[in-house]
Amino acid sequence: MTQGSRSEPILEVRGLAASYGHVEALSPTDLRLDRGELVAILGPNGAGKSTLLRSIVGLTKTRGEVLCEGEPLPRGDPVAVAARGIVLVPEGRGIFGPMTVMENLRLGAYRVRNGGEVARRYERVFDLFPRLKERLHQPAGSMSGGEQQMVAVGRAMMADPKVLLLDEPSLGLAPRVTVEILETLRRLNAEGLSVVLVEQKAPLALELARRVHLLSLGRTVAVIDPREVKTHDELARYYFA
Amino acid sequence: MSGDLLMQSLVSGLAIGCVYGLIGIGFCVIYNASGIVNFAQGAFVMLGGMLTHVGLKTWHLPYWAAALFAVVAVAVLGVVLERIVVRPLWRRKAPVFVMILATLAAQIVIERLTFLLVDDQPKTLPVFTDLPPLKLGAVALSYQTLWIVAGSLAIVAGLAVFFKSTLTGKAMRACAIDREAALLQAIPVSRMLALAFALSAALGAVAGILLTPTQYTAFNVGVPFAISGFIAAIIGGFGRPFGAFLGGLMLGVVQSVAILSLGSGLKSAAALSVLLVFLFFRPAGIFGVAK
Ligand SMILES: Nc1ncnc2c1ncn2[C@@H]1O[C@H](COP(=O)(O)OP(=O)(O)O)[C@@H](O)[C@H]1O
Ligand SMILES: [Mg+2]
């Protein structure tokens, strides 16, 4: 695998657009993620946030291009994109419910056949989410929503991703669990992981992100620096600007 | 009816039921990987017996080599079928019923080609162990029956280990649970589909090889086997391999008891009655959890 230069963004989206039938769900969109950065995407329901993430990994038919470290990612081939280390934790988590926690985690490292390496990655995930270690042999679908989200994020981390894409990890979770998961995310980001986080809960995203893209009706209506936005009212102004 | 006759018929019902079960598992493996009900499953069973016969009688291979050749050839045919029939339709996002019809067409093509390339004569294979049947009281137990039961159980156990303990087996289960999530883990879902066809085809071929010494094979035996395997899978709650195996056992026993008590003309009627009972009263199968 070729290493791009340091200044090259780890992920760059250029004019990415997607339609369902004749309805355009995502208008041509640009997005830049530097190495070690956390960018948040905020917007109301139906704004096209999920479509953007799904388009990046090639789950939807798209126009435009996505580059990873300056090299174009193949389009319409989610396996190849995942193999390049761009890993999506989808909305609704997408865990393998009837399978055990351990099996879910193992499949996150599907491409890794070296037992020692797999063991190291398990340890890292247990370090991030100690609770999973106690539940290894439980069917993942039988756990609480928060624990399922931990399985989903843990499984993504088993791939040792270059870029982690998270689609509303807080959806349907109690505030306390949400904080726990976002704290882990903050820690991963501090350790150098590049992250794109989709959220509907604005305060959470504003707190974590370096830059925030505001999406509405399939368009980026603003890119803002959260340090300059301290209140909800200010954020609302952007929506209605 | 005497107890011995009933026992005898239970034994033969369990043996044929094992074969139905293996075919039923084949249906489930492909269905789980793709959502397709593969009606070419019967062709795999027919070809298992037929190709072993060709290897044995035409090429004078040792029995084991002929059987091995048949299983491998049928597995390859399964992959070819997936490549040239299923995958192009899949890519085009054809409706599932179109893909199912395509497998039925493939079944007919394979049947006709066998008719043209071999002939239309029924053929049988020698029994694996040529010894007089064991006697358990008044019940006779042929060695081929033992081969069928032991072989099927060994295969079911092997599959359990494969799906439970190997990474590839886990990946196949993951594809069945959530194909999109599997893609996101970089699991090569389309390769898993080809593997599912190879596995199901091999299962069908083994079923055909185990059974043919007790019956016969001919170019047109596939469809009845496909129907029995399909019923076994329905009884098991479609998509549950081990349910399908139990479903096969149940179907085999019901059929042979029906033959004993009502006459052999009612064999198919018994099978279809079992199917209807399940479709009406337990559409989710014996284990009853709706999918
Ligand atoms: N599979 C689909 N088929 C048709 N329309 C869809 C589909 N998924 C999403 N959409 C539409 O695309 C738009 C964007 O949806 P989505 O990306 O899910 O928004 P968000 O994640 O921001 O809530 C919405 O109008 C939604 O109705
Ligand atoms: Mg969404």
Q: What is the pLDDT of residues B152-205, one digit of tens each?
A: 999 999 999 999 999 999 999 999 999 999 999 999 999 999 999 999 999 999
- Is residue B286 a part of any domain in this protein? no
Give the HSE-up count for residue A203: Cα atoms under 13 Å, Cβ half-sphere.
Answer: 6
**Of B242, B93, B75, the residue nearest B153 (C-alpha):** B242
Distance A52 CA to ligand 2 centre (A): 9
Distance to chain A for B174, nearest Cα, Å: 6
Tell me the residues of chain B between 182 and 221 that have a Cβ less than 8 Å away from chain A.
Answer: 182-189
- Is residue B62 a part of any domain in this protein? yes
> Residue B58 in contact with residue B66, Cβ under 8 Å?
no
- pTM, two decimals, is 0.90
Query: What is the pLDDT at residue A1?
Result: 45
pLDDT grade for B290, boundaries at 50, 70 and 90: very low
Q: Do A106 and B167 touch (CB under 8 A)?
A: yes
Chain A residue closest in CA terms to B184: A82
Separation in Å, CA A83 to CA A22, A120, A159, B185 = 31, 19, 9, 8
What size, in residues, is chain B?
291
Distance A59 CA to ligand 2 centre (A): 14
B130 touches chain A (CB under 8 A): no
Give per-residue pLDDT as tens, B38-82: 999 999 999 999 999 999 999 999 999 999 999 999 999 999 999
Q: Do B174 and A57 touch (CB under 8 A)?
A: no
Tell me the residues of chain A between 109 and 128 that have a Cβ less than 8 Å away from chain B.
Answer: 110-111, 113
Check whether A234 has a pLDDT greater than 70. Answer: no
Average pLDDT of chain B is 91
Q: List the single range of A184-188, A190-194, B265-269 with lowest mean pLDDT.
A: B265-269
- Is residue B60 a part of any domain in this protein? yes
ipTM: 0.92
Query: What is the pLDDT at residue A216?
Result: 86
Give the HSE-up count for residue A67: Cα atoms under 13 Å, Cβ half-sphere.
Answer: 17
Chain B residue closest in CA terms to A161: B185
pLDDT grade for A156, boundaries at 50, 70 and 90: very high
d(CA B214, CA B97): 35
Phi first, then psi: what are they for A174, rounded to 5°?
A: -65, 150
The residue to mutate among A27, A29, A50, having the most atoms of ligand 1 within 8 angstroms of its beta carbon, is A50
- Is residue B254 a part of any domain in this protein? yes
By residue range, what is the domain housing residue B118? 3-281
d(CA A210, CA A203): 13
Q: Which ligand sits closest to the CA of A23?
A: 1
Size of interface A-B (CB pairs under 8 A): 60
Query: What is the pLDDT at residue A60?
Result: 93
Tell me the residues of chain A between 134 and 193 that have a Cβ less than 8 Å away from chain B.
Answer: 155, 159
**Of B25, B82, B33, B30, the residue nearest B187 (C-alpha):** B33
d(CA A220, CA A224): 11
Nearest CA to ligand 1 atom 25: A46
Helix (H) or strand (E) holding A102: helix A101-108
Give per-residue pLDDT as tens, B111-148: 999 999 999 899 999 999 999 988 888 888 999 999 99
Neighbours of ion ligand 2 (CB under 5 A): A 50, 91
- Tokens representing A21? 């039938």
- Is residue B21 a part of any domain in this protein? yes
Cα torsion for B1, B7, B11, B16, to the nearest 10°? 20
- Is residue B291 a part of any domain in this protein? no
Check whether B289 has a pLDDT greater than 60. Answer: no
Q: What are the helix (H) ranges across chain B? A: 3-34, 41-53, 63-81, 87-91, 96-117, 143-165, 167-177, 179-184, 189-211, 222-235, 241-262, 267-281
Query: What is the pLDDT at residue B1?
Result: 53
CATH of the domain at B133: 1.10.3470
pLDDT grade for A231, boundaries at 50, 70 and 90: low
Query: Looking at beta carbons, which residues of chain A come within 8 Å of B178?
Result: 94, 96
Which residues make up the CATH 3.40.50.300 domain(s) of chain A?
1-85+161-176+184-241
* Mean pLDDT, range A206-228, rounded to an integer: 84
- Is residue B136 a part of any domain in this protein? yes
* Mean pLDDT, range A121-140, rounded to an integer: 96
Check whether B291 has a pLDDT greater than 50. Answer: no
- Tokens representing B82? 């997936």
Q: b/e map of A126-146 (b: 16 or more CB within 10 Å)?
A: bebbebbeebeeebbeebeeb
CATH superfamily of A1-85+161-176+184-241: P-loop containing nucleotide triphosphate hydrolases (3.40.50.300)
**Other residues' Cβ atoms within 10 Å of the Cβ of residue B125:** 26
Number of domains within chain B: 1
- Tokens representing B125? 């294979």
Give per-residue pLDDT as tens, A16-60: 999 998 889 999 999 999 999 999 999 888 999 999 999 999 999
Q: Do B187 and A107 touch (CB under 8 A)?
A: yes
A95 touches chain B (CB under 8 A): yes
Give the HSE-up count for residue B234: Cα atoms under 13 Å, Cβ half-sphere.
Answer: 21
Query: What is the pLDDT at residue A237?
Result: 62
A87 touches chain B (CB under 8 A): yes
Give per-residue pLDDT as tens, B6-42: 899 999 999 999 999 999 999 999 998 888 889 999 9
CA angle centred on B191, ends B157 and B84, rounded to 5°: 110
